[in-house]
Structure 1
Amino acid sequence: MKLELRHLRIVCAIADTGSITKAAAALGLAQPALAAQLKRIERAIGGQLFERDRHGARPTPLGELMLTRARILLPAIQGLEDEAARLASTAATTMKAYRIGTVNGPILSGLMQRLTSEYPDAVLSTHTSWEASELAEMLATGRLDYALVGACGSSSPPTALGSGAERDLAWHVVAVDAVFILLPEDHPLAGQREVDLSDLADASWVMTPGDGCFRSCFAAACARAGFTARDMYEGDVRTCVELVEAGTAIAPCQSSFRPPPGLVSVPIAGTPLHWRHLLGWHPETPASQHADRIAYYAVEAYQDAVERLPRYAEWLRRQPQFGAQPLAAAKPLSTQ
């Protein structure tokens, strides 16, 4: 892994707050996710950056060196990015260009189809990341116009590191998915209308990476069901599918995920976990002028994805609190 600016900001946040827990709260991340990020940064830099004990986290000599460089680089880079982004955003809007970031979800392809149909001359570019915080940072610095991300349960939307009005983002809830379980068609529970999480206590699990709190929320749901999940593997979508196909593991999945042939997704009794699809933008850029239109297209794209899943569409009729969120009823979310 190569060091990036967001890694320098994480190190500064830990040093400024004196605690990984406090830094995670300030950055809008789960504490385990931030601790894992720090370990990856330390592996990349080649040594320990903080000494941690019951009094908090204190920089090591290597950490002090990194902080000294970071506190010089970050303000300079931030100023350059902000000035360049304002110019680029204005030019992009004039040219009908749309820069869209996304974390794994069902909306992007349908959104792009609608944009290319409505604006045949539009220039579309996309950026994919496993980390919603990275996309939030790109929105704040003007490198993206819109971002499609997910948030577990009722957790806060991702935030851009730093503070100030220029860092505040607007978020709109496009849809709410229940979390289902992805199983092989020949699994003993594959034909059930729904499964109790406790019936899967002996299973091995696989899930995609991310910087949110889903892994912790999933572990908590398992604990409430009376067991601790074992063999928690991690992989991209293809790896997850292949492990489920092979019978090596099963996977939690968004209910709007379309299983490939040979696999099925089954609801969890009591719907203990859910996932919100969010559309984000910066309210002080030209992209904000078109946010309502983009949100409308995003809702339509989600509804199209659901129509391709008869089993999920039927489930939604019994669970009206899930699914696409009407634009008139939904309110933009604040990250602050």
Structure 2
Amino acid sequence: MLPSLTSILSRLRLKHMQLLVAIEDHGSLHKAARAISISQPGATKVLQEIEVSIGMLLFERTSKGIVANEAGRCVTRYSRLICNDIAHMREEITGLIEGAGGHIAVGAVMGAMPLLTKAVHELRKEQPSLSIEIFEDNSGNLMNQLAQGRLDLALCRPAMGHKLSATDSLPLSDEPIAVVTHIQHPLARIKRLNFSKLASYPWIFYTANMPMRRAIERELQQSGLEPIQPSLETASAVATIMLLQQDPSLVAALPEDVARFFAQNQLVALLDIDITPSMGDCNIVKRQDAQLTPAAHLLISRLYLNIGKTYDPDNWQG
């Protein structure tokens, strides 16, 4: 039988939670013990105390080490949230004392990166002591990281993630798509292209079942064309650009803002082709139970200012 909440609260300590997070981060009890400055026998004892406090085994002991079971992963996830909230508390107090500063961990899908990096650049000119971590990933992974407390904010499509915890979101912008090639590609200077002319060239596709991949496949279907078998697949904008440089025959799709940035720097050519579908709206997402720091509110305000909107903290929607 699971101990009462009062019993768990009286027994669990922050050191316990630190160890759980360290085990997940470092993959072994030995490395976790070293990370939080205790001996391995001490870590073993702390782990036993945690399991007694919860009233069940949280880890499977194997010849290769310890592996968290489902309950262990659950307890670790909430331990990380608590540790992160305490870190945010300290950062917010530091900001209050210094009148600035603080830390934000924010993740974004590829298409939101130009908007995010512009906002970060402008914000840091006003708040030079602000520390900002930026992560790029797909929406599903960003939503998972948000639920685990690794991120304060995510710029992504919430519907693509596994709803591990309740979230709030604000609309940000849609993500139109552009088709790009090497600047010396035969189609680079042709006006009014259609997908039938692109179908005969080798493509770099985004990974399967992702919105950008589905959007291009939908456009091909609407044009009456057979699906293109991708020559290459990658979720990396950098890999896409480098592959285009190395093989000028390739064609690729990128979020429009990203594509325009690379085109302005003469790294790709934007093809003159209409693409009706976009990847859908990108939102600013936070955990529903998370209290945003003043620095996070400043970043959201800057993001909204750059798209011509006014940020109202009361407009978050669950």
Under TM normalisation by the shorter chain, which class is it?
0.5 to 0.7
Give the Cα separation in 1 of the matches to 2:191 and 2:197: 14
SS of corresponding position for 2:257? coil
SS of corresponding position for 2:189? coil
Q: How many residues align?
A: 238
TM-score (norm 1): 0.60
Give the corresponding residue for 1:143. 150
Give the corresponding residue for 2:251. 250
Give the corresponding residue for 2:84. 85
CA contact (8 A) 2:182 2:250 kept: no
Kindly report the root-mean-square deviation, in angstroms, between the aligned alpha carbons of the 2 structures.
Answer: 3.3
What is the percentage of aligned positions where both structures have the same residue?
A: 14
Q: 1:115 aligns with which of 92, 113, 123?
A: 123
Name the amino acid aligned to 1:278.
N
Give the Cα separation in 2 of the matches to 1:271 and 1:169: 30
SS of corresponding position for 1:216? helix
SS of corresponding position for 2:292? helix
SS of corresponding position for 2:248? coil
Give the Cα separation in 1 of the matches to 2:282 and 2:149: 21
Larger Rg: 2
Instruction: Say whether residues 1:94 and 2:101 are aligned partners.
Output: no
SS of corresponding position for 1:124? strand
Q: Alpha-carbon deviation of 1:76?
A: 2.1
SS of corresponding position for 1:109? helix
Name the amino acid aligned to 2:150.
R
Give the Cα separation in 2 of the matches to 1:118 and 1:288: 16
SS of corresponding position for 1:286? coil
Q: Alpha-carbon deviation of 1:262?
A: 5.0
Name the amino acid aligned to 1:226.
G
Q: Alpha-carbon deviation of 1:195?
A: 2.6
Name the amino acid aligned to 2:148.
T
Instruction: Say whether residues 1:265 and 2:263 are aligned partners.
Output: no
Instruction: Say whether residues 1:282 and 2:300 are aligned partners.
Output: no
Instruction: Say whether residues 1:326 and 2:274 are aligned partners.
Output: no
Give the corresponding residue for 1:184. 182
Give CA-to-partner distance per residue, 1:99-155, whole Å, 9 cap, x none: 222332212322221221222222222333x33222222222332212223x4xxxx
Q: 2:167 aligns with which of 166, 169, 176?
A: 169
Give the corresponding residue for 2:46. none
SS of corresponding position for 1:269? coil
Identify unmatched segments of 5+ residues in structure 2.
1-22, 25-66, 95-101
Give the Cα separation in 2 of the matches to 1:160 and 1:191: 42
TM-score (norm 2): 0.63
Give CA-to-partner distance per residue, 1:250-279, whole Å, 9 cap, x none: 111111121242521135325233454432
Q: Alpha-carbon deviation of 1:182?
A: 0.4
Q: Alpha-carbon deviation of 1:206?
A: 0.8
Name the amino acid aligned to 2:199.
A
Name the amino acid aligned to 1:114.
E
CA contact (8 A) 1:137 1:160 kept: yes
Name the amino acid aligned to 2:121.
Q
CA contact (8 A) 1:132 1:210 kept: no
Q: Alpha-carbon deviation of 1:241?
A: 1.4
